Amino acid sequence: MFSPQVREAITTSLAAMSLWEVAAVVLALAYLLLAMRENILCWYAAFASTAIYLFLFWDVSLLMESALQIFYLLIAVYGWWQWRNRTGSGEPLHIHRWPLQRHLLAFTGIGILTLTVGYLLDNYTSAALPYLDSFTTWGAVVTTYMVTRKVLENWLYWIVIDGAAIYLYIDRELYLTALLFVLYVILVIVGFFQWSSLYRKQSGNHTHRVPAVNDAHAG
């Protein structure tokens, strides 16, 4: 399946992994699996994993990645708060869908940020694949917010973002990380169908709600 060079690179990466990195990966997978089950404990796993990655990235001088982890720490707290507290109508936060206009706004925002930051990285830094790197970063920011709001389509966004990240990591010869993201893609596909089933059940129990409109006033 893999060439000898790729297999050797994966073996070397596994041997070089620290216990902290292993813990961060395990917690990241735990976050995803718990989120698939709509379990609020996912945010505890996300916070712990992100905290570890923050120090790991800082230790190897990946400053922008470290800054991104700070955002993820904050969004983990926000996500926990959103899932724990009730909405303005007094009901718990349910899985819901965004209207087409909201998705178009998200696509436009991601596109503008990707082109703007990609241009700056391409012209003023030595960043590799600046536009793809920018796309996966900003796409992840928007999609993580969607998870905090339990937007069903977040899983479809992740399929695209994680798929692009696989190419990015293979290009940088980070084969172990690429394999991890292959697993992520498989899990987010499962997550989409699992949340779809939960959404149908919740919609049947709450027919008086209009999910797409309920999120229009989200902060």
Domain range annotation of the chain:
4-87+94-217
Say how many Å lie between the first and final Cα of the chain, rounded.
47
| Residue 219, pLDDT above cutoff 50 | no
Instruction: Give 103-158 as a DSSP string.
Output: HHHHHHHHHHHHHHHHHHHHHHS--SSHHHHHHHHHHHHHHHHHHHTTBTTHHHHH
Q: What is the pLDDT of residue 59?
A: 78
Phi first, then psi, for residue 151 (nearest 5°) are -85, 120
| Residue 208, pLDDT above cutoff 60 | no
Q: pLDDT digit string (tens) for 6-43?
A: 777 767 766 666 788 888 889 999 999 999 999 999 99
Closest CA to 66 of 52, 79, 80, 78: 52
Q: Which residue has the higher pLDDT, 209 or 152?
A: 152
Q: pLDDT digit string (tens) for 67-116?
A: 788 999 999 999 999 998 855 555 778 999 999 999 999 999 999 999 99
Q: How far apart are CA 54 and CA 70, in angstroms?
A: 7
Q: How far apart are CA 166 and CA 219, in angstroms?
A: 32
How many Cβ atoms from other residues are within 10 Å of residue 124's Cβ?
9
Q: pLDDT digit string (tens) for 185-206?
A: 999 999 999 999 999 998 877 6
Q: How confident is the model at residue 214 (pLDDT cuts 50, 70, 90)?
A: very low
Q: How far apart are CA 74 and CA 17, in angstroms?
A: 26
| Residue 211, pLDDT above cutoff 50 | no
- Assess contact for 194 and 36: CB atoms under 8 A: yes
| Residue 207, pLDDT above cutoff 90 | no
pTM: 0.83
Q: How confident is the model at residue 44 (pLDDT cuts 50, 70, 90)?
A: very high
Q: What is the pLDDT of residue 15?
A: 65
Q: How confident is the model at residue 129 (pLDDT cuts 50, 70, 90)?
A: confident
